[in-house]
Structure 1
Amino acid sequence: MNQEIFINKAKASGIIALDLLDYKPCTEIVELDIKDHLFMGMIVKEKEFKESIASVDFSVYNEKAVGIICSTDAIIPPWAYMLLMEKLSPYAVYVDLNSAKAVLLDLWKRRLTYADLKHFKDQKVVVRANADHDSSLYLLAAWLLKPIVKSLMYGEIGLPKVIFKK
């Protein structure tokens, strides 16, 4: 009986993968549109704005990340954002003056920045390719990994694109 031995060259290469999806935040991210609290949807009138904000049940933002936006071309005074933060702070885990997409990216970058990457030290590392990821995540990954890894690659373990080798 002839037994052929198959060697998994990808596994034998010693390359380990960093998947950026592992660092994607799982916190729900929602947007709060200030437009809904403006007089005629366009003007901040202090009394009306405060009354409108007071009528909101901010507990719906409990354990969520909130991106504050204004979908109209209105000039919003800074105190209005401060008032919203005062109302959101007991509930939201994160608040920013940005879209939900931008908040997700910011939180994702924070998780990656503060991740414990020491198990990649002196390793051959490939950052897995995903066309749906923002390019700035790859930029940050390269920044964080370059000082600690033996070699950095992009793509998949079986066919990586070499970025650098020490």
Structure 2
Amino acid sequence: MEKEIINKVANSKLEVFDLEDYFPREEIIVLDISQWLFEGFILKEKDFREALNNYNWSQYAGKGITLFCSSDAILPAWTFALVTTYLQPFAKNIVHGSIEDYLLISYKTTLDGLDYNIYMDKPLILKGCAKKPVPQEIYTLAIQKIMPFAKSIMFGEACSAVPLFKSK
């Protein structure tokens, strides 16, 4: 007589906190502003403003934008702010920096807005195997957000979790 196989994980009160669930859904575009600089290095204000004014910004509707300059140009402090004024009516989010900077800001904004009360006094797994590029810093932020609520926190998958925290 065979014994019935019981899925103890499925029957447990264990909650899974998967950071991939909060990965930005919008396409992220890297936008190099050197294309609007004279010879890629010199910002001539009149020409720069004219180039921005004539550019098709609507192509960035609903997208995430990371602004950077690939050249070693010395730029005035207002440069990226001015470009942002053209992008803002179209883009979902705009970050000065890299894709990782975009992800960090997006995750921080999302995690700051979550209601963690659903994890109150429950055992929790902070899922660790990601198919998307979840920055390591986000795991540090996430653990801080869920610790005040969870009974215990493990990292990884239910079959091979590493204990991180247990409330006293």
TM-score when scaled to structure 1? Answer: 0.91
Q: Indicate if the aligned counterparts of 2:153 and 2:165 stay in contact, CA closer than 8 A.
A: yes
Q: Indicate if the aligned counterparts of 1:25 and 1:111 stay in contact, CA closer than 8 A.
A: no
Distance apart, 1:121 and its partner CA = 1.1
- Tell me whether 1:153 sits opposite 2:129 in the alignment: no
- Tell me whether 1:134 sits opposite 2:135 in the alignment: yes
Paired position in structure 2 for 1:74: 73
Distance 1:102 1:130 in 2: 21
Match of 2:91, SS state, is coil
Paired position in structure 1 for 2:18: 19
Unaligned runs of 5+ in 2: none
Distance 1:159 1:79 in 2: 50
Match of 1:78, SS state, is coil
- Tell me whether 1:60 sits opposite 2:59 in the alignment: yes
Structure 1 counterpart of 2:76, which letter?
P
Deviations 1:86-139 (A, max 9, x none): 211211121121122321232122212212222111100011112643211110
Distance apart, 1:163 and its partner CA = 0.7
Q: Quote the sequence identity (%).
A: 34
Distance 1:80 1:134 in 2: 28
Paired position in structure 2 for 1:163: 164
Distance 1:20 1:141 in 2: 8
TM-score when scaled to structure 2? Answer: 0.90
Q: Indicate if the aligned counterparts of 1:24 and 1:111 stay in contact, CA closer than 8 A.
A: no
Coordinate RMSD, CA, aligned:
1.6
Paired position in structure 2 for 1:104: 103
Distance apart, 1:143 and its partner CA = 0.2
Q: Indicate if the aligned counterparts of 2:125 and 2:158 stay in contact, CA closer than 8 A.
A: yes
Distance 1:136 1:106 in 2: 11
Q: Indicate if the aligned counterparts of 2:57 and 2:87 stay in contact, CA closer than 8 A.
A: yes
- Off by >4 Å, runs of 4+ in structure 1: none
Match of 1:91, SS state, is coil
Match of 2:78, SS state, is helix
Distance 1:22 1:96 in 2: 21
Distance 2:99 2:158 in 1: 32
**Count of residues in correspondence between the two structures:** 165
- Tell me whether 1:92 sits opposite 2:78 in the alignment: no
Distance 2:48 2:25 in 1: 32
